[in-house]
Chain A
Amino acid sequence: MTLLWLLLLPIVGGLLAWVSGKTGTQLPRWISVLALALVFGLTLQVWFQYYSEIDIFTEQAWLIEFERDWIPQLGISFYLALDGLSLLLIALTAFLGLISVVVSWKEIQYRVGFFHFNLLWILAGIIGVFIALDLFLFFFFWEMMLIPMYFLIIIWGHEDKRYAAIKFFLFTQASGLMMLVAILALYFVHGNATGVYTFNYNDLLGTDISASVAMWIMLGFFIAFGVKLPAVPVHTWLPDAHTQAPTAGSVVLAGLLLKTGAYGLIRFVVPLFPEAATQFAFIAMILGVVSILYGAKLAFAQTDFKRLVAYTSVSHMGFVLLGIFAWNDLALQGAVVVIIAHGLSTGALFILAGGIQERIHTRDMDRMGGMWSTVPRMGTVAMFFAMASLGLPGLGNFVGEFLVLIGTFMENILLTVIAAVGIVAATIYSIWIIQRIFHGEPRETWEMPDLNIREMVVMVAMMLALLWIGLYPKPILNTAKPALDILQRGVEEVRMVEQTPVPDPRNEMQIFMSINQLHKSDH
Chain B
Amino acid sequence: MYDLLWLIPFFPFLSAILLVVLGSRMPRAVNGAIGAGSIGLSAIITIIIGINFLTSPPEGHSYTQVLWSWIDVGNFTPAISFHLDALSLVMIFVITFVGFLIHLYSTEYMIKDEGYARFFAYMNLFVGAMLVLVLGDNLVLLLLGWEGVGLCSYLLIGFWYKKPENGYAARKAFVVTRVGDIAMLIGIFLLFMHTGTIHIQQILDMAPRIWVEGATIPVAASLLLLGGALGKSAQVPLQVWLPDAMAGPTPTSALIHAATMVTAGVYLIARTHVIFELAPAVMTIVAVIGLVTALIAGFTALTQTDIKRVLAYSTISQIGYMFLALGVGAFAAGMFHFMTHAFFKALLFLGAGAIIHALHEEQNMFRMGGIRKDMPVTFWTFLIGCASLAAIPLVTSGFYSKELILWKSFSSQLGSVWFYIFGALGAFITAVYTFRMVFLVFYGEKKTEISHLPGTRILLTLVVLAFFSTVAGFIELPHTMGDFTLFSNFMASVLPSVPVLEYSLGTEFLLQLIATLLVAVGIYIAYVLYVKNPEAVNNLTASPAGQGVYTFWSIGWGFDWLYDKVFVQPVIFISRINKQDFIDSIYHGIAFATEVLHRLFTKTQTGKVRWYAMVLVAGAIIVITLAVLL
A residues in contact (CB < 8 Å) with B = 167, 232-233, 235-236, 239, 297-298, 300-302, 329-330, 333, 370, 372-373, 376, 380, 383, 387, 392-394, 398-399, 402-403, 405-406, 409-410, 416-417, 420-421, 423-424, 427-428, 431-432, 435, 438-441, 471-474, 477-478, 481, 519, 523
Partner of B70, one of A232, A235, A427, A471: A471
A-B contact pairs, 11 of them (CB 8 A): A232-B583, A236-B587, A373-B162, A380-B20, A393-B144, A420-B186, A423-B178, A423-B182, A435-B171, A438-B161, A473-B70
Q: Which residues of A contact B584 (CB under 8 A)?
A: 236
Q: Which residues of B contact A403 (CB under 8 A)?
A: 71, 73, 76
Smallest Cβ distance from B315 to chain A, in angstroms?
24
Question: In whole angstroms, how far apart are the Cα atoms of A399 and B76 in the complex?
Answer: 12
Partner of A440, one of B140, B162, B581: B162
Q: Which residues of B contact A330 (CB under 8 A)?
A: 73-74, 76
Question: In whole angstroms, how far apart are the Cα atoms of A405 and B182 in the complex?
Answer: 11
Q: Which residues of B contact A481 (CB under 8 A)?
A: 73
Q: Is the CB of B186 within 8 A of A410?
A: no
Question: In whole angstroms, how far apart are the Cα atoms of A432 and B178 in the complex?
Answer: 15
Which B169-204 residues have C-beta < 8 A from chain A? 170-171, 174-175, 178-179, 181-182, 185-186, 188-190, 192-193, 196
Chain B 57-92 interface mask (CB, 8 Å, partner A; 1/0): 000000000001111111110001000000000000
Smallest Cβ distance from A55 to chain B, in angstroms?
14
From known contacts A406-B192, A423-B185, A424-B182, infer whether A236 and B76 are also in contact, taking CB-CB under 8 Å.
no
Q: Which residues of B contact A431 (CB under 8 A)?
A: 154, 170-171, 174-175
B contact residues, total (Cβ < 8 Å): 53
Task: Name the residue in A370, A405, A427, A519 with the highest tally of chain B Cβ atoms < 10 Å from its Cβ.
Answer: A427
Q: Which residues of B contact A523 (CB under 8 A)?
A: 75
B607 at the interface (CB under 8 A from A): no
Q: A297-B574, A393-B146, A406-B189 are in contact. List 6 more A-B contacts (CB 8 A).
A: A333-B73, A427-B174, A428-B171, A431-B171, A435-B167, A519-B196
Q: Is the CB of A428 within 8 A of B140?
A: no
Which B452-507 residues have C-beta < 8 A from chain A? none
Q: Is the CB of A472 within 8 A of B70?
A: yes
A328 (CB) vs chain B CBs: closest residue: B74
Q: Which residues of A contact B179 (CB under 8 A)?
A: 424
Smallest Cβ distance from B436 to chain A, in angstroms?
35
B581 (CB) vs chain A CBs: closest residue: A298
Q: Which residues of A contact B151 (CB under 8 A)?
A: 387, 392
Question: In whole angstroms, how far apart are the Cα atoms of A420 and B187 in the complex?
Answer: 12
From known contacts A297-B575, A472-B70, A474-B72, infer whether A236 and B581 are also in contact, taking CB-CB under 8 Å.
yes
Residues of B contacting A: mostly: helix
B177 (CB) vs chain A CBs: closest residue: A427
B143 at the interface (CB under 8 A from A): yes
Q: Is the CB of B186 within 8 A of A372?
A: no
Q: Which residues of A contact B74 (CB under 8 A)?
A: 329-330
Q: Which residues of B contact A236 (CB under 8 A)?
A: 581, 583-584, 587
Q: Which residues of B contact A427 (CB under 8 A)?
A: 174-175, 178
Which B245-296 residues have C-beta < 8 A from chain A? none
B24 at the interface (CB under 8 A from A): yes
- The total of interchain contacts (Cβ-Cβ below 8 angstroms) comes to 124
Q: Is the CB of A472 within 8 A of B68?
A: yes
Q: Is the CB of B162 within 8 A of A439?
A: yes
Q: Is the CB of B80 within 8 A of A440?
A: no
B residues in contact (CB < 8 Å) with A = 20, 24, 68-76, 80, 140, 143-144, 146-148, 151, 154-155, 158, 161-162, 164, 167, 170-171, 174-175, 178-179, 181-182, 185-186, 188-190, 192-193, 196, 571, 574-576, 578-579, 581, 583-584, 586-587
From known contacts A297-B575, A423-B182, A435-B171, infer whether A477 and B73 are also in contact, taking CB-CB under 8 Å.
yes
Smallest Cβ distance from B14 to chain A, in angstroms?
14
Smallest Cβ distance from A457 to chain B, in angstroms?
14
Q: Which residues of A contact B20 (CB under 8 A)?
A: 380
Smallest Cβ distance from B218 to chain A, in angstroms?
17
Question: In whole angstroms, how far apart are the Cα atoms of A370 and B160 in the complex?
Answer: 11
Q: Is the CB of A394 within 8 A of B144?
A: yes
Q: Is the CB of A441 within 8 A of B164?
A: yes
Q: Is the CB of A409 within 8 A of B71?
A: no
Question: In whole angstroms, how far apart are the Cα atoms of A126 and B161 in the complex?
Answer: 42
Q: Is the CB of B73 within 8 A of A393?
A: no
B583 (CB) vs chain A CBs: closest residue: A233
From known contacts A424-B175, A424-B182, A427-B178, infer whether A399 and B71 are also in contact, taking CB-CB under 8 Å.
yes
Partner of B24, one of A298, A376, A383: A376
Question: In whole angstroms, how far apart are the Cα atoms of A398 and B576 in the complex?
Answer: 29
A334 (CB) vs chain B CBs: closest residue: B73
Smallest Cβ distance from B94 to chain A, in angstroms?
23
Partner of A393, one of B148, B576, B581: B148
Question: In whole angstroms, how far apart are the Cα atoms of A519 and B76 in the complex?
Answer: 13
Q: Is the CB of B186 within 8 A of A417?
A: yes
Question: In whole angstroms, how far apart are the Cα atoms of A409 and B148 in the complex?
Answer: 24
Question: In whole angstroms, how far apart are the Cα atoms of A481 and B179 in the complex?
Answer: 33
Q: Is the CB of A428 within 8 A of B70?
A: no
Question: In whole angstroms, how far apart are the Cα atoms of A216 and B143 in the complex?
Answer: 43
Question: In whole angstroms, how far apart are the Cα atoms of A233 and B587 in the complex?
Answer: 10
Smallest Cβ distance from A466 to chain B, in angstroms?
14
B182 (CB) vs chain A CBs: closest residue: A420
Smallest Cβ distance from A98 to chain B, in angstroms?
24
Q: Is the CB of B73 within 8 A of A439?
A: no
Q: Is the CB of B193 within 8 A of A410?
A: yes
Q: Is the CB of B143 within 8 A of A393?
A: yes
